[in-house]
Amino acid sequence: MARKALIIDDDPSIVSYLRQILTAEGFAVATGGRAIEAVNLYERLKPDVLLLDINMPGSDGFFALKRIRARTRSAAHEGVIIMVSAREGVEDIDAAIQHGANDYLVKPVDRASLMQKVRKHLRI
């Protein structure tokens, strides 16, 4: 059975790029473009890994991250969440980890860095 990935980013070109990488690595990939979608899709799909942008229209990725972790800490499924953002400040990275992200990647993301982090956290 293929591992599942969820990509939430409001930039279609980023979504397409990340989807291509993960699909080539054997993941079944679902996508969305808004933080509120992240919460709903995460609960429904239970992905092994979520790639989550911070800057999105409406609520941001931190909103989604906090909501997802609040709901998954007591649930059977607690997948890997990797924040993927152009924001490279230490305060953003610290906030992401503090709120439950497993890791953080700064855009532009290269394939090797992405897959190194995915493999590390999924132990594959």
What's the domain range around 15?
4-119
pTM: 0.94
Cα 90 to chain centroid distance, Å, stands at 18
The token duo for 111 is 């394939």
Residue 79 φ/ψ region, left for φ over 0, alpha for ψ in the -120 to 50 degree band, beta for the rest: beta
39-48 per-position pLDDT tens digit: 999 999 999 9
CATH number of the domain at 35, please.
3.40.50.2300
Domain for residue 124, yes or no? no
**For residues 95 and 48, is the Cβ–Cβ distance under 8 A?**
no
Rg (CA), the chain: 13
Domain for residue 75, yes or no? yes
Domain for residue 51, yes or no? yes
**For residues 72 and 79, is the Cβ–Cβ distance under 8 A?**
yes
Domain for residue 111, yes or no? yes
Domain count for the chain, please give it. 1
**For residues 51 and 80, is the Cβ–Cβ distance under 8 A?**
no
Domain for residue 52, yes or no? yes
Domain for residue 48, yes or no? yes
Q: Which residues are registered as beta bridge partners of 106?
A: 85
Q: Around Cβ 98, how many Cβ atoms within 10 Å?
A: 10
Tell me the three state secondary structure of residue 78. Answer: coil
48-103 per-position pLDDT tens digit: 999 999 999 888 999 999 999 988 665 555 799 999 999 999 999 999 999 999 99
